[in-house]
Structure 1
């Protein structure tokens, strides 16, 4: 007997006829539509949720790192002739230049850091002062690049200081007021070290959107900070920003090589390891839970195929007596189920992409329907993430949906292929 190639044209024709068959013809068109819609919605939910998850992660990292270093470089040196270890960086300009030349590094800024007390009248606040140059400060996104959230101007930064919104509220100051900075490590005298105080004009008030920054941070010109904190000619660290924060594992060794053998590095992933691990675990759980929706949706294909095999028992018997092999029957019903899964997957991906690309319109619609619910929550400090589509998430979703719908189709298709044609036609 001559054999035909797998997935021959007639197998596709029979499968297509079964997909379109109505209940009166022994088909299950209603179940076909239910299966198709179910897979479409499940894939859509997975694509949209993963896009929102990626957007939330990106915004969260941008907020956490928008005013913080991606990599911090220190130096550990031993003072000549002693066992004293110093972490001060003397050649900070040259070191920053070498680090800035590393591919993938956006900027490298020398810093002087110290914890002090800020005071004005009866208001006091424990703050951290960052001594930084005006050019480097202008490159910090959440501090210098949010004019709608700031007061004052950085054009006069060399004449004063920039403080966070929370610090300004706690001290009750605004642009143009002067505050006192009190450092416990101040003037060295014969009686020891006495606190050093200084009065500085507030020329800029920034709002980074993170209390950890807004309530604790003050920026001071680098040369002023060096003088005030006894750091004449030295810096405490080099703050490094990367073009792609997630690339810190690849760029870190290059920065270490440029910084020299006495360099010590601290990156954002190690500093925020708890948050990072929590986000990764959340990502995995979200994908697993939503994958169950896809699995449940594909089970509808099995139900529909089982009913179709039962209703088409007579057809299967006739096709077998006409010479169709078990393999041909299996492929016919496999094509039926796989086609439903494939079409549903493509429709779900299309809906998910359209939803993600128009998330701003979705928020606007929800805002309109709920009576400014979204705007009200944003005013209270909540933020609604953008939807960011990633090829990896889309490929994983498509592969998962197709794999489940194709594999699960094999079982009812094998049942149809193994049906005895004599038994199928006995009572016809």
Structure 2
């Protein structure tokens, strides 16, 4: 009895590769092979590039949030200022003690009392509305995107002598480091005739870029003590800003912080503020993956068409191979390898193209921006200043695995058809 050949022997690869490169008698097969190859390449490249851009956008968006804003904000529930007065306040009087207790919690990176308010900023004939944060210099230095801004102007160590403002607001007002602006608040000094507006002049000592358009357009920092006086918060703070080691799991610290802060504590996390947007991004990512997966499937289906044509044109060869002793399994594997070669080569080409696209996204966006005359990426709409891309191993694995699995699956049907071909019928008219 003749020995059975091992599955996927070398001769099976040789035959499959020769069939795949056929150009003369099977010109149509060659065209279908190229169509399949190009389709899979573009599908995989589009899938990898899209996943990288979506991951980069989410990472940049979250990074600008947690790098410029408190990850957990501690508030106080309204309490009666004087018993029976009917006047309530949310001011935190014991902010120093609460802050120290919160700092002692494992995993808490920083905790800082803050005063918050809104005021109108005026410089010359221009004015704008500012979201004012009152922080100590040491606490301001703990905000990564503010203290380590790439486009910063001035010296943050001079913060005690003036104020810091976002680069967008400074640009709109025409302000430079060293200029003096006016800060106007309607809630000023209280007199028998009512509350009079408070107008103070401050020197701009530091201009920052937080990486987010909305923050750069509205954010202004002033020293904590000065903010207490300016907004009538003497002896108290509006909130305590807390950062933790893992912002993505910020909920793990909520109970401990609430207990350390004491009764009447209210918490607001960055996920509470931006959670709906992030969930929308997740849904959009899943939908995009499904849509692009369908494109890869359509491209893979072209492999089936090409193999069916190849099987039809190679009927005589199949009959000869069978009479020479090749089993149905060998014939199946030969034509399976024909389709698999196309899928593997297309997937590798798509992987290369997708990775190159993701790594050169800045140059590509610059070209697109130039081609359209500018304004392609509007930070006032999208929040961040540029379109980032972040290659993640899991995303690449998903794209490559999907393409290979689909390519292998669609190859099975025409390969089985070739294996079941009767050699007598194949050679009857030859």
Do Structure 1 and Structure 2 share a fold, with TM-score over 0.5?
Answer: yes
CA-based RMSD: 3.7
Does the 8 Å CA contact 1:47/1:353 hold for their aligned counterparts?
Answer: yes
The 2-side partners of 1:26 and 1:121 are apart by 76
Does the 8 Å CA contact 2:152/2:206 hold for their aligned counterparts?
Answer: no
Matched, 1:139 2:142: yes
* Count of matched residue pairs: 424
Quickly say closer, same or farther: Cα 1:379–1:127, change in 2 above 3 A: closer
The residue that corresponds to 1:47 in the other structure is 48
For structure 2, the 5+ residue unaligned runs are: none
Does the 8 Å CA contact 1:164/1:218 hold for their aligned counterparts?
Answer: yes
Matched, 1:398 2:400: yes
Does the 8 Å CA contact 2:150/2:209 hold for their aligned counterparts?
Answer: no
Of stretches 247-256 and 219-228 in structure 1, the one that deviates more from structure 2 is 247-256
The residue that corresponds to 1:297 in the other structure is 299
Quickly say closer, same or farther: Cα 1:193–1:353, change in 2 above 3 A: same
CA drift of 1:262 comes to: 4.2
CA drift of 1:208 comes to: 3.8
The residue that corresponds to 1:58 in the other structure is 59
CA drift of 1:324 comes to: 4.3
The 2-side partners of 1:328 and 1:86 are apart by 83
The 1-side partners of 2:362 and 2:125 are apart by 45
The 1-side partners of 2:330 and 2:88 are apart by 79
Does the 8 Å CA contact 2:212/2:385 hold for their aligned counterparts?
Answer: no
The 1-side partners of 2:248 and 2:76 are apart by 24
The 2-side partners of 1:261 and 1:306 are apart by 74
Matched, 1:76 2:88: no
Write the mapping of 1:313-324 to structure 2, written as runs, cut at 5 A. 313-324=315-326
The residue that corresponds to 2:90 in the other structure is 87
| From 405, 419, 422, the counterpart of 1:420 | 422
Write the mapping of 1:217-256 to structure 2, written as runs, cut at 5 A. 217-242=219-244, 245-250=247-252, 252=254, 255-256=257-258
1:61-93: per-residue Cα shift (whole Å, max 9, x none)?
334554322332223375596797653333434
| From 386, 389, 393, the counterpart of 2:388 | 386
The residue that corresponds to 1:67 in the other structure is 68
The residue that corresponds to 1:205 in the other structure is 207
The residue that corresponds to 2:267 in the other structure is 265
Does the 8 Å CA contact 1:18/1:27 hold for their aligned counterparts?
Answer: no
The 2-side partners of 1:257 and 1:421 are apart by 81
Quickly say closer, same or farther: Cα 1:49–1:166, change in 2 above 3 A: closer
For structure 1, the 5+ residue unaligned runs are: none
The 2-side partners of 1:117 and 1:380 are apart by 23
The 2-side partners of 1:333 and 1:229 are apart by 79
Q: TM-score, normalised by structure 1?
A: 0.82
The 2-side partners of 1:302 and 1:418 are apart by 16
- Secondary structure in structure 2 of the residue aligned to 1:23: coil
Does the 8 Å CA contact 1:77/1:87 hold for their aligned counterparts?
Answer: yes
Quickly say closer, same or farther: Cα 1:326–1:217, change in 2 above 3 A: same
CA drift of 1:99 comes to: 4.2
CA drift of 1:394 comes to: 0.6
- Secondary structure in structure 2 of the residue aligned to 1:385: coil
